[in-house]
Structure 1
Amino acid sequence: MGHQKRLPTSMDIRQIRCFVALYEEGSITRAARRLHVVQPAISQQIKRLEAHHDVQLFLRDTHGVTPNALAHEFYRHCIRVLTELERADAVLARGADRLGGKIVVGAQASFHQFVMARTLEAFGEQYPEVEVLSRDGYRSDLISWLIAGELECALLSTTQDLLNMQTRDISNETLVVVGHRDTLAGRQAISGRELAGFQLVLPSRYKSMRNLIDAQFGLQGLTLRPQLEVDSLQSLLHITLRPGWLSIIPPMALSSELFGGALQSVALLEPAIRRKVVVAWPRHKSLPAPVHKFIDILSGILADIPGVEIQDPAPGSGDA
């Protein structure tokens, strides 16, 4: 009995990854940068895919590429394929009893003030064979690194621009006013209107926290006019050591050990500003087992911070 002739494979994982990157980026240049390949490689894989099935998936013009109706349907299947592939890889990665390997996590600067340092220390003690790289950056940078596959996950505030991400709620926290203990002596709280009587230092409008603060003050008919705008959290806190200076920060950014306990925080009223924190990762990926452990340790550390409310994962949310 003769051997059966093998049919050529209709597509491979490279074509699927190139298609997804081009679909999501809308540009061959950006798709190539995301996958760390040259632009002709993207074009070649897409042309092969279209030619093999005698279809067209993108409308091409001088402004880039636009997916057509067939591409929209095909994209949904590709995401499922990549998701299952990541889960299969995770099964093998969890095959060993002990955790190992390397994970790369990202976080906004307010996490890196204290929370990430404590989490990294505790995680290293419990799982010494896992190598961890922790990166901080602007929110937009972290999202770009997630899309490019440079991070397993990132800790971010709010979820407005995370439509292509999976997310797991981590915590809710109410922002506080911080200043030298002499500046805030006798106060348990301060209203938004009262802040006009102090010198104010805030992050610039390049930071998502500043946008959140301005939006909530705007709902009260108030406009903040800070004397200084400083993005470095460490520098911002140094400024609040000066008499008469205040700022608005998340409670996780302040520690009683900082500056010998010279800084004090009080509640902010009218407006009271709440910030939601999530861990985000690309929706076609699964979180490796070490990342789940890292998030569990992080949540435990956050739970000990006054003003931070830990969120239990909703049934069916996140990673199976």
Structure 2
Amino acid sequence: MGEFDLIARYFKRPAKRSPLGVGDDCALLAPAAGMQLAVSSDMLVEGRHFLSTVEPARLGHKALAVNLSDLAACGAKPLAFTLALALPGVDEPWLEGFSRGLLALADAHGCELVGGDTTRGPLNICITVFGEVPAGAALLRSGARAGDDIWVSGTPGEARLALEVFRGTIALPADAFDTARRRMEQPTPRVALGQALRGIATSAVDVSDGLIGDLGHILASSGVGATLDVDAATALISVDTGNLGEELRRTCALSGGDDYELVFTAPASARNAVGQAGMDSSTRVTRIGRIEADAGLRIVDAAGAPVSQRFGSFDHFV
């Protein structure tokens, strides 16, 4: 099977929004009046971002999910995406599963595949996603203010638990591992929550490299500091972790990464509105800290005592 046959069989679909579509040298995108385009790219490299054992359908889902998560963090509505795919060879069962998982998530969010590229090489997946958001309404990292609450969606830390099982450092009960593995391999982008938080949240970022590291981007961009309740964050891990120690649970919750949840800030006066945004988007949201004027991040336990344990975040070049 040649390159263009591969594209036609697994990725070409009728355009639903003219003049979008696969087949010309460029896709033409035009946001609606009063809207801004939100654009983001992510690359997934085998052995760095995913294991060779991942099911192709789950990998297709994740490849798009990590990009949709960036749109969610900006409060944007998905429109379209491009796919650049390097493959060692034409593996039709793999391509069928990958495209099925990819396009099922795309359909769920009304996000059309409008172009890209394929080539031979080590397995590498790069997606650029396009969304739209009302002009001036995008959630940014730079809006947090002293006195704001810090919130997080979902159950950060569970993806890291699965990774530790794969690394052989821990063991989990079978059901718990299945749940954690699904969180790592098939994350849920919080697109509906991001849109629901427009006009409520003062800043937002998605958790890809670890809660601590990604919250740090908000603090740096906003010129503020924070106090974070490690026990409130750790309590969000919902899978049965057996007899794993507190230190490892805390590490997974704060340093795990690969969760693709949203960390966001909002004024204390907006707590009811944040709760309603969570309900409207069927997403759990939990308050885990507060923004402060003094620079730096202070990590405390449920009693307010400082925590001496050190937490890091993922860095591709460290």
TM-score after normalising by structure 1: 0.26
Q: Where is the helix percentage greater, Structure 1 or Structure 2?
A: 1
TM-score (norm 2): 0.27
Q: Rg larger in 1 or in 2?
A: 1
